Amino acid sequence: MRIAILEDDTALLELYQVWLVADGHSCKCYEDGKSLLKALGRETFDLAILDWELPDISGTEVLTYLRKQLDWRLPVLFATNRDNEEDIVFALKSGADDYMIKPVKQNELLARIGAIARRTGLDTDNDGVVDTLPYQFDAGALTVNYEGKSVTLTRKELDLALFLFRNKGRLLSRGHIMESVWGQNAELNTRTVDTHVSAVRQKIQLGPERGWRLASIYGHGYRLESV
């Protein structure tokens, strides 16, 4: 998963990052709320971990803005010192998906992230057959079947297509796609993403006539939508 961490304690921020990277996740770290909100204007993530008490705006203000103005589907996990029931209820009612009280334990954090991934479908792998009308993806055979046709894709083309369909309706930044499909740093040349998106669109004739629109969002990335 691609995870954004908002925590103003530098040592704790670095500790979270070590835990998450060791568990196979990629992380972007932020020490104040405004920096995270700015990043969310150009990047996308699979999960955000938020502290409550920050030097500029509160974690709950970040959550409210995120839910109302940005990506309402982004799962949010609070990790905070605030342990009274009223605060927990307020955060959950404001749109948080889970809530942890510091000191955060490594195994519990990873388990909660895994549970969120299962609930949201983010832990789905690329094995087996996936049906998304009118397409049927066979990951083992690297083929896509639709309307009586069978098209062979490269491994990366198929992985990209599955990633787009599994995140349908979400705006995905090029960096997010690069890290999730290629496992490479988002700062590398993201023209690779554009080239593969074009190939997938052409090979499987992805378009409104088949019930889908793959929109290019200028300066940001792509969004696959049903029509």
Q: Are 115 and 21 in the same domain?
A: yes
Same domain, residue pair 116 and 143: no
Supply the pLDDT for residue 34: 94
Q: Following DSSP, what letter does each residue of 15-66 receive, concatenated?
A: HHHHHHHHTT-EEEEESSHHHHHHHHTT---SEEEE-S--SSS-HHHHHHHH
pLDDT score at 120: 72
Q: Domain boundary residue among 94, 120, 146?
A: 120
Do 193 and 151 fall into the same domain? yes
- In the predicted model, what is the mean pLDDT of residues 33-47? 90
* Amino acid occupying residue 24: G
Higher local confidence (pLDDT), 7 or 169: 7
- The count of structural domains within the chain is 2
* pLDDT tens-place string over residues 154-192: 999 999 999 999 888 888 998 889 888 887 665 556 688
pLDDT at site 43? 84
Asked whether residue 129 carries a pLDDT value surpassing 80, the answer given is no
Domain, as residue range, for 219: 129-226
Query: Residue 199 maps to which CATH number?
Result: 1.10.10.10
Phi, psi (rounded to 5 degrees) for 88: -60, -45
Least confident of 47-51, 69-73, 161-165, 206-210: 69-73
Q: Is 65 in the same domain as 29?
A: yes
157 and 198 belong to one structural domain: yes
Please tell me whether residues 33 and 67 are part of one structural domain.
yes
Mean pLDDT of the chain: 89
Say yes or no to pLDDT of 56 above 90: yes
CATH number at residue 86: 3.40.50.2300
Task: Please tell me the predicted confidence (pLDDT) of residue 42.
Answer: 82
Does 98 lie in the same domain as 155? no
> Stretch 211-220: mean pLDDT, rounded?
88
Q: What is the pLDDT of residues 104-115, one digit of tens each?
A: 999 999 999 999
Radius of gyration (Cα) for the chain, nearest Å?
19
- Distances in Å between the Cα of 42 and the Cα atoms of 72, 143, 148 are 15, 33, 39
What pLDDT, on the 0 to 100 scale, is given for residue 6? 98
**Together in a domain, 40 and 18:** yes
Same-domain status, 94 and 133: no
Q: Indicate if 149 and 93 belong to the same structural domain.
A: no
End-to-end alpha carbon distance in the chain? 28
- The whole-angstrom separation of Cα 48 and Cα 37 is 11
**Percentage of the chain surpassing pLDDT 70?**
93
| pLDDT recorded at residue 13 | 96
Q: Of the residues 103, 120, 137, which one is the last residue of a structural domain?
A: 120
The amino acid that residue 118 corresponds to is: R
Contact 102, 50 (CB under 8 A): no
Among the candidates 100, 120, 140, a domain finishes at 120
CA–centroid distance for 15 within its chain:
21
pLDDT in tens, 80-125: 999 999 999 999 999 999 999 999 999 999 999 999 988 876 655 5
Q: What is the pTM of this model?
A: 0.74
Q: Quick check: 135 and 102 in contact, CB under 8 A?
A: no
Say whether both 112 and 159 belong to one domain.
no
Residues 1, 220, 139, 183: is their CA dihedral positive or negative? negative
Instruction: Identify the pLDDT of residue 187.
Output: 59
Same domain, 11 and 110: yes
pLDDT at 201 over 80: yes
